[in-house]
Every structure is written in structure tokens, then in C-alpha cells.
Structure 1
Amino acid sequence: MVLRWYQSKLAKRPLLTQAVTTAVLFGAGDTLAQQAVERKGFRNQDVARTGRMVLYGGCVFGPAATKWYGFLQKRINLRSHNATIAARVAADQTVFATINLGVFLSSMALMEGSDPKAKLEKSYFQGLKANWAIWPAVQAINFKFVPLEHRVLIVNIVSLGWNCFLSYLNSSK
């Protein structure tokens, strides 16, 4: 029933649906980071931090990922299906992942009122190494088995844990 409702929203307004879904799951990832990893307790939940994650997920990552996956689907098509998947993963990890991590850390720094350059120097390469340990395999499976309209959703589901890590990485002193 929920999947049918989601499918109908996705068919009518794909960008908006994926942006809202991403916003919710980015917020959930941050809450998971604060409650399960940092063990802050709900009274000490940093609501502004969660709000920043929701804003980034809904306004930046969701729309960007939706357009990016459409671009990959349209522009990277080789003779072999497996070569196409490998080329899409390579493009995703060398272009999108590297840029997105920089934009994420920089925008979080700006919203927090701190120095983006310092945040990038402190966290970028640690985050990128963690990204490359997880996401190439996830994206290979995503590009091989998941229809285009559901790829952002799959990334968002896997991102519950990833966003928990990103939120922790961003907030670590």
C-alpha cells in the first residue's frame, strides 16, 4: 500500500517526491547519529543540526541525485551492460561523489557559521575514503538491478547509515 502511494507520487512529481523523501531520510540519519552513535538522548537532540541535514537532503542532494542518475542513464551507454554499469559507477564516484562531499561539508560549515575551508581540510579525505569503501559496490548493484525511478530511494535507504556517518563526521570536533 505504501509502495503504491509512493509510486503514484513519483509518477506525478518525481523531483519533488525524491527531494522530500531525501529530506526525511537525511533527517532520520542525523537523528540516528545523535541518538544511536553519540547517545545524546532526545532532550539533547540538536534540532538545528537535524534541520541542516533535512535542508541539504531536500534542497541539494535529492534534486541533484535525481538529475544525476537521469544523466548517467541517458549519456553513459556502452555495448556491454556490465561495461555500462562500470562506467556509470566510475563517473558517479569520480564526479558526483567527490563534488557532493565537498558541497555537503562546505554548505554545512556555512550553515553552522564556520569556515568551509577548515571543514574541508579536516574532514574531506576521511569522508572520501569512507565513501569509496562503501558506495562503488552499492552503486554497482543499484545501476544493475534497480529501475531509474527507484535509484534515489535505494541510495536514501542505504544512506540512513551513511548520513549517520556524515553527520557524525561533520559534527566531530
Structure 2
Amino acid sequence: MSTLFNFWKKSAASRPYLTILLTEIVLSSSGDLIAQTLEINNVFGTPKHQNPSTETSPPAHTEYDFNRTLRFAFCASLLSPLGVRWHRFLDSRFPFTLNLKTVHSASPPNLSSKVSILLQRASAWSPVAKRLFCDQLLFEPILYLSLFSGLGLLEGLNRFEIKDKLTNVAFPAYVTGLALYPFVQAVNFSFVPLIYRVPFSSSFDIFWDSYLSFSNSASMTQIKQQNQ
């Protein structure tokens, strides 16, 4: 395992964009594989818009769809180099002026020193808050818009169907993610070195990608049902 990590680290240092892209292919493919496995075994049950008792309902997901994994991995991986550039921008735009570990390890002897330390801690965490605000309110919506629009195009949807996908799938997924990813990214921005930030968040994305893939699949089932 350490050999593999060292190889990845050297590759990321010399070819960051290619390494991150290939890493994202593996992680997003794993997420879709998990989603399809759960669907095939009917872990989540029948989607609420699908009535298995009617003849017009599309057939349940009963076998692995390799093309679906390719579509999802293709769209997700193409966005990963953008993530690298984004994290570099955040680092340069909101740099740390104080060391978080040094500030929090300080032991103030009196009240005035305590106030000073508290102000220093607030100042130290200010770049994290700014990065987090920009990431969740500016960058993440672009990612969801790009991912689901790309999936819609590869699935052969027209612009009205893609618009419905963005409204009914992408936006709810983004809102749901706001309950989780601010905490993940707070750790990411505070303690994780720049080159590891996209893989760090992507490691959580294995399970999040499963949710996104399942949501996208459910929306496709609904579209097929409406077109029958």
C-alpha cells in the first residue's frame, strides 16, 4: 500500500492533472458500481415514480450497465482538473497568515493574552471560512450543473429533459450535499496539502457518487416512463 501511495505521490507531483483525472476515473467508477449493485439488489426499493405493477413502467435495473459507468466516470473525471485549478486559486486568493496548529497550542497566561489569542484564532480560521464560502456557493453549483448537463447530453436527452434533470435531480442533490460537504471541505482546506485535496474529497465522493448515480438513474427511469 505504501508503495502504491509513493507512486501516486510522485506521479501527482510531476503530472498533477493527469494523475488526478485517472484517480477520479477510478473513484467515480467505484461509486457508480456501488450504486448499480444496490439497485440490482433492490436495496433502495422501487423509486416512487415507478409503479412495477403497470405495463408502462420501465423494467427494473437487473444487470450491470457498463455504458452507464463509462458516462458517469467520463463526466466526473473531466471536472477533476478544474478542481485542481480551483484549489490552487483558493490557496493564492485566501492564504494562511497564521499557523493553525501554533495558534491553537498557545497557552495564554492572563485575560488580555486570552483575548489576543482568540483574535489570532479567528484570524487564522478566516481563510478557511472564505474558502468554504466560495467553494460551496460558487464552485459546487457549477460542478453539479456541468455533471448533470454532461450526463444528459451523453444519455441523448433534449434540452427540456436536461432542464428537468437539473431542476429535479441536480439542485436537490446540491442542497443535500450542503449538509455534508462543508464539514469535509473545512478539514480539507485546513489540514490537507494542496495536491491531496481533490483525492481527499473524492474519497468521500465514492459514496456520494453512488447517491448521485442512483439519483440520475432514477430520473432516467422517470423520463423513459413519460416518453412511453
Decide: shared fold, TM above 0.5.
yes
Q: Which residue of 63, 76, 91 corresponds with 1:44?
A: 63
Aligned match of 2:146: 103
* Structure showing greater Rg: 2
Residue pair 2:76, 2:147 contacting (<8 A) in 1 also: no
CA RMSD of superposed structures (Å): 1.7
Q: What TM-score, normalized by structure 1, do the two folds share? A: 0.93
Counterpart for residue 90 of structure 2: 72
Q: How many matched pairs?
A: 171
SS of corresponding position for 1:71: helix
- Unpaired runs of at least 5, structure 2: 43-61, 98-122, 223-228
Letter in 1 for 2:7: W
- Map 1:15-94 onto structure 2 (within 5 A): 15-35=17-37, 37-39=38-40, 44-59=63-78, 61-77=79-95, 80-94=123-137
1:55-104 deviations in whole A, cap 9, x for unaligned? 11222x21111111111111123652211001101100001111111111
The letter of the residue matching 1:91 is C
The alignment's TM-score, normalised by the length of structure 2, stands at 0.71
Report the Cα distance in structure 2 between the residues aligned to 1:125 and 1:24, rounded to whole angstroms: 25
| Letter paired with 2:87 | Y
Matched, 1:152 2:198: yes
Which structure has greater helix proportion? 1
Deviation at 1:53, TM superposition (A): 1.2
Name segments (4+ residues, structure 1) moved above 3 Å: none
The letter of the residue matching 2:194 is L
Q: Which residue of 1 aligns with 2:173?
A: 127
Contact 1:23 1:56 in 2 (8 A): no
Alignment identity in percent? 32
